[in-house]
Amino acid sequence: MPLDAICLSGLTAELQARVTGAKIDKVQQPERDMILLSLRGKGENLRLLLAAGTGNARVHLTESSFENPAEPPMFCMLLRKHLIGARIAELYQPQSERMLVFELDTRDELGVESRKKLIAELIGRSANLILVDSQGRIIDCMRRMDYGGSELRRMLPGMIYRMPPAQTKPALLSSSEDERNAMICSADQSVPMDKWLMEHFSGLSPLICRELAFRCGGDYDALPALLSAFLESVLAGELTPTLYYEADKPRDFSFMRLKQYSDEFRSEQMESFSLLLDTFYTRRDKLEQQRRRGHELTRSVKTLRDRQQRKLIGQQEELRRTEERENVRKSAELITANIYRLRKGDRMLRCQDYYSDDCPEIEIPLDPMKTPQQNAAALFKEYNKMKNARVHLTALIDEGESKLEYLNSVLSLIEGAESEKDLSDIRRELTETGFLHVSRAKKQDKGKVQAPLRFRSSDGLEILVGRSNLQNDELTTKLARRSDYWLHTQKTHGSHVILRTDDSTPSERSLEEAAIIAVYYSQGRDGGKIPVDYTLVRNVRKPAGALPGKVIYTDYKTLTVSSDEDLVKSLKV
């Protein structure tokens, strides 16, 4: 949801208490549409984030870390010139506007005191950060706008700063009860209530309009009393910063508890609006970055897989052609047997095929430019070439099928990756196995490989799950004891799962829970009931020279289970 005027009012009250009087020590611009101010004052160091991007416009204190570009952008350099050493004298929100104005006490190059303004306009696609001098002129802005018309608002250095055009509809927070009731009485009740509220009042987001309509049940007669109670609560500062999650993904936030979501989303009350916004956008951006990087890695692996598949199809076609080698050898021997009948220049040999039971007469084409002996020699040479090719191609196809199976297993692991670190481990594995090549200009990720995922069965037994094929190998061949149980989905790519038994026999319940975890971390996660093989680790071995994750096993049994996300999450340590 956007940062609406009411939510911004609660944020403003928080910031006024913490940043007023603070001195600006540092200015950074980690992203094109983001400014980070390091503040010092009131006995604490703070970092104030101001973002003016489409869909993420906001202002709040942050604990998140950001990587700065090697060369600071021009707007950042300008802000450093004017803001470093300045003190925040005042902070306010213009009436019912999605704006914050920071009034700053600064000194110019000659040491003369002056008051500048840093204005954060958090209005949809036109979000902007503007630095204004003491005369009200624009020093510069993050996003310059020149529409060419004198009647339109223009954002260029040297121009007088003008507030955004006032909205024609009344602001709900400043409206009187009589005014609201008169508007509701004349409302077209065939229009959905949330749409009517959006069209007739400013200062409300679509989310809050839907919430008010939900609480009224769409009944316009109940709306006046609800609006009065709502405004009384808001004007009294009774705001509750609340974050809503869909699964583990931040879905929405609000200044009040929302009844429209019921039990659909998990809610979490935050200590402050700054923490609310920092958590929402940091987690959302992190998930989006992970999704984007996961998509890039998936695309790279799919390209490698498709290339390997095409190569394998070509090799298999060549192998099929070598099946004709015996016919080639037979033709060479028939030419040799009938060589006394042939002369140089003959184009065809007609002879009996004494390799067949009824000795039919066949025709063997000849090269007229060669002698009969040369024709026979050429066919023997082709036969030997096809025979050697068959041996070579068989080995290449076996190797290609192993690579194809490995790349499909990597795609399964990428799909189940739960963090950016998981993706980094998979990327490192692909680099170490030679499937991906990292240019010298790029820095190698030398971070420590993560530990396997850990779970605890209902009986208290530890369950370990590999995050990558390299980790699958280490888990199965090094970390697991011979008396532990090894589990893997049958004929489906997925992670290796180890059920630690402490030299005892696990219960059926623990085995079933480990099997459910194996299905959850496999390509069969959404495929209904999936067979899972399990055996003692002593029965599992890795073939010599096999790619990561490849093992063979014996003396196994099979459980058929379905994925259960809630159970998996409840068992996770």
Residue-wise pLDDT for 145-158, tens only, equals: 876 444 457 889 99
Same domain as 565, residue 472: yes
Residue 439 pLDDT more than 60?
Answer: no
Residue 441 pLDDT more than 50?
Answer: no
Same domain as 131, residue 23: yes
Same domain as 465, residue 384: no
Same domain as 487, residue 400: no
Domain end, chosen from 83, 113, 141, is at 141
Per-residue pLDDT of 477-515, as tens digits, reads 999 999 999 999 998 899 999 999 988 999 999 999 999
Residue 440 pLDDT more than 60?
Answer: no
The whole-number pLDDT of residue 148 equals 47
Same domain as 36, residue 119: yes
Q: Can you read off the two tokens belonging to residue 320?
A: 């099929």
Task: Using DSSP, state whether 336 is helix, strand or coil.
Answer: helix
Q: Which DSSP letter does residue 417 get?
A: -
The whole-number pLDDT of residue 152 equals 57
Same domain as 22, residue 134: yes
Same domain as 131, residue 53: yes
Biggest distance spanned by C-alpha atoms of the chain? 121
Percent of the chain scored above 70 by pLDDT? Answer: 96
The whole-number pLDDT of residue 82 equals 93
The helix/strand count (H/E) of the chain reads as 13, 22
The whole-number pLDDT of residue 553 equals 95
Residue 246 belongs to what H/E stretch?
A: strand 242-246
In a domain, 230, yes or no: no
What's the mean pLDDT in 33-42? 92
pTM above 0.75?
no
In a domain, 486, yes or no: yes
| Residue (of 133, 89, 130) closest to 114 by Cα position | 133
Helix axes 206-216, 193-200, angle to 10 degrees: 130
Sheet containing strand 113-121, strands side by side = 58-61, 44-51, 34-41, 23-31, 87-92, 99-107, 113-121, 128-132, 138-141
The whole-number pLDDT of residue 276 equals 93
Q: Can you read off the two tokens belonging to residue 274?
A: 């700054």
| Residue (of 428, 423, 395) closest to 548 by Cα position | 428
Residue 98 pLDDT more than 80?
Answer: yes
In a domain, 331, yes or no: yes
The whole-number pLDDT of residue 310 equals 94
The whole-number pLDDT of residue 157 equals 93
Same domain as 329, residue 392: yes
The whole-number pLDDT of residue 293 equals 75
Q: Can you read off the two tokens belonging to residue 423?
A: 């993706």
What's the mean pLDDT in 515-544? 92
In a domain, 61, yes or no: yes
Task: Using DSSP, state whether 106 is helix, strand or coil.
Answer: strand
Per-residue pLDDT of 2-26, as tens digits, reads 688 899 999 999 999 999 999 999 9
Domain end, chosen from 114, 141, 168, is at 141
In a domain, 134, yes or no: yes
Task: Using DSSP, state whether 202 is helix, strand or coil.
Answer: strand
Q: Where would I find the beta strands (DSSP E) of 33-165?
A: 34-41, 44-51, 58-61, 87-92, 99-107, 113-121, 128-132, 138-141
The whole-number pLDDT of residue 448 equals 60
What's the mean pLDDT in 370-377? 94
| Residue (of 136, 143, 141) closest to 163 by Cα position | 136
In a domain, 560, yes or no: yes
Residue 375 pLDDT more than 50?
Answer: yes
Same domain as 470, residue 396: no
Per-residue pLDDT of 335-358, as tens digits, reads 999 999 999 999 999 999 988 888
How does 95-111 read in b/e, with b if 16+ C-beta sit within 10 Å? ebbbbbbbbbbbeeeee
How does 133-153 read in b/e, with b if 16+ C-beta sit within 10 Å? beeeebbbbbbeeeeeeeeee
Distance CA 272, CA 500 (A): 43
In a domain, 488, yes or no: yes
Say how many domains are in the chain: 3
Same domain as 120, residue 59: yes
The whole-number pLDDT of residue 285 equals 78
Residue 444 pLDDT more than 60?
Answer: no
Task: Using DSSP, state whether 571 is helix, strand or coil.
Answer: helix
What's the mean pLDDT in 450-457? 91
When pLDDT is cut at 50, 70 and 90, the band that residue 1 belongs to is low
Domain end, chosen from 123, 141, 159, is at 141
In a domain, 201, yes or no: no
Q: Which DSSP letter does residue 322 get?
A: G
The whole-number pLDDT of residue 447 equals 53
Distance CA 10, CA 5 (A): 9
Same domain as 478, residue 373: no
Q: SS3 letters for 515-565?
A: HHHHHHCECCCCCCCEEEEEEEHHHEECCCCCCCCCCEECCCEEEEECCCH
Distance CA 362, CA 44 (A): 99
Domain of 345?
319-405
pLDDT: which is higher, 50 or 412: 50
What's the mean pLDDT in 359-365? 92
Task: Say which CATH number the domain at 53 has.
Answer: 2.30.310.10
